[in-house]
Structure 1
Amino acid sequence: MSNGGIGGGAQAQSADASQDLENTLYLDLEAGRVVIKLRPDLAPKHVERIKELTREGFYDGLTFHRVIEGFMAQGGDPKGDGTGGSGQKLPAEFSNENHVRGTVSMARSSNPNSADSQFFIVFADAPHLDGQYTIWGQVVSGMEYVDGLKKGAPWANGRVADPDHIVKMQVAADAQ
């Protein structure tokens, strides 16, 4: 990969995110680092819980167990099959924010107040999700690494047979 013209843009985005290190997450994949700007303005309780779980090392080693080409990548399940969580359900914090490429939202069951530790990152704009899922972050750099996650089979609802892992997730303020 070249550091040419695209490198400067990624650096500028990373610099913007690093201005608030307490509200920036580093999600390290084998392929590289994904930087997520947290959105406590939209979902303060979810951001607080994500940071708490991150600081406990909860996400380290977990998989992106469900990845649907052109739609989203879902991870954060300690069971790795979409049925697990941390054991603490969160009340929905819906907003008027749109699900655009790189948006990070909470996964949940049909109950809007069932989000726990699982989250997803959308590959493309997904307006059908707007107002239905709690948005808590936005990828500001490294989206190419999310794009590169192993995709699941369409007939298996995106379930990935040999999924990619989160190497480490940390709050940027703790990475200094």
Structure 2
Amino acid sequence: MRTNPNINCIALSATLSLLFLFAGCTKKETQLHATIDTSMGPIVVRLLDKDAPKTVENFVALADGSKLLAEGEDASTAKPFYDGLTFHRVIPDFMIQGGDPAGNGSGGPGYTFEDETYTEGEPLTGEIADQDRAEFVFEQWIVPHLREHRGESPIEFIAKLFGEMQQAQGFDPMYDVTVEELAEALEKEQPIVGRGELINSVDYGTLCMANAGPNTNGSQFFIVTKDGGTPWLNGKHTVFGTVISGMDVAEAISQVPTKAQNMPVEPVIINSIRVNEVKVVVEEKDEEETKS
């Protein structure tokens, strides 16, 4: 039977149109995926290296051991930092925390680094006239200074201000102080840059840095298991990953029996953390959707 060539041409045209349509809606991108192999099963996380590049770089370098290599040491001698550590703190309907070489929440890799929670804002100047600004300046400048001097500032101006804040039990004494006065007292040569936009919220299934206050990140991390996330932690912890498989494992870990300080009775071991580059097909967002 003879086929109609016009029908074949129409069918071919329709097929090509569909191929071009789908090609325009999707694209391939390279993602970093970390497999956290635990004694209760694997958890796979997509690392958000564009949102938190320093944090992801630190995590990856600790995971493969290259971060702690001494100068001149061969990479073949690197010992993966996380292998054999535990989830030392687990709380049902909240989170599971691990990555501490001391195993009790007090340890780290021997250094700290800054948060990646907000985009960069504008330099702050003038009076510290409201609580948000006072709290930010306090966290960024005064807290590290007090930590360095074990809570006792050798600078009379700062010691007096901190004493007044303790007495007032709040930030009110800072409201009449200017950023310039604090910069002079603390000998700060660079301006303090305010917060911009929140980069990521601390949602269910996110991988976040644990810390002891602003800009004290090291090796400890936690995975949020609370349905609806923990919005009260937004901006206080760097979000650097999101779980793409294994949340059932994370939730099971959060439910294990615990003793003092929410430590599991039976250790939950991090057998290893391995990071791989993975090429995935993702949907491209429409221009209008990107703007909204």
TM-aligned CA deviation for residue 19 of structure 1: 5.7
Q: Distance in 1 between matches of 2:93 and 2:261?
A: 13
Distance 2:83 2:232 in 1: 30
Q: From 275, 280, 285, give the equivalent of 1:171.
A: 275
* C-alpha distance in 1 between matches for 2:54 and 2:97: 20
Taking only aligned residues, the RMSD between alpha carbons, in angstroms, comes to 1.8
Tell me the alpha carbon deviations over residues 96-136 of structure 1, each in whole angstroms, 9 at most, x when there is no partner: 211111111100003x1111000000002111111111111
**Separation in structure 2 between the aligned mates of residue 138 and residue 52 of structure 1, nearest angstrom:** 18
Match of 1:120 in 2: 222
The sequence identity of aligned pairs, in percent, is 39
Residue 68 of structure 1 contacts residue 157 of structure 1 at CA under 8 Å; is this kept in 2?
no
| Structure with the larger helix share | 2
1:76 to 89, 99, 109: 99
Partner of 1:91: 114
Between 144-153 and 76-85, report the one with greater CA deviation. 144-153
Q: Secondary structure at the match of 1:139?
A: strand
Which residue type is aligned with residue 272 of structure 2? K
TM-score with structure 2 length normalisation?
A: 0.50
Indicate the structure (1 or 2) with the bigger Cα radius of gyration.
2
* 1:133–1:151 CA distance, 2 compared to 1 (3 A): farther
Say which SS state the counterpart of residue 204 (structure 2) adopts.
coil
Alpha-carbon deviations, 1:3-50, whole Å to 9, x = none?
xxxxxxxxxxxxxxx9635x1101111232211000112211010000
Aligned length: 153
User: Which position in structure 1 is the counterpart of 2:54?
Assistant: 45
Unpaired runs of at least 5, structure 2:
1-27, 66-79, 119-197, 279-292
SS of the residue corresponding to residue 54 of structure 2 reads helix
Q: Structure 1: any 5+ residue segments left out of the alignment?
A: 1-17
Taking the aligned partners of 2:218 and 2:210, their CA distance within structure 1 comes to 8
Runs of 4+ in 1 over 6 A off after TM superposition: none
Local SS of the residue matching 2:262: coil
Q: Which amino acid aligns with 1:72?
A: M
The amino acid of 1:50's aligned partner reads: F
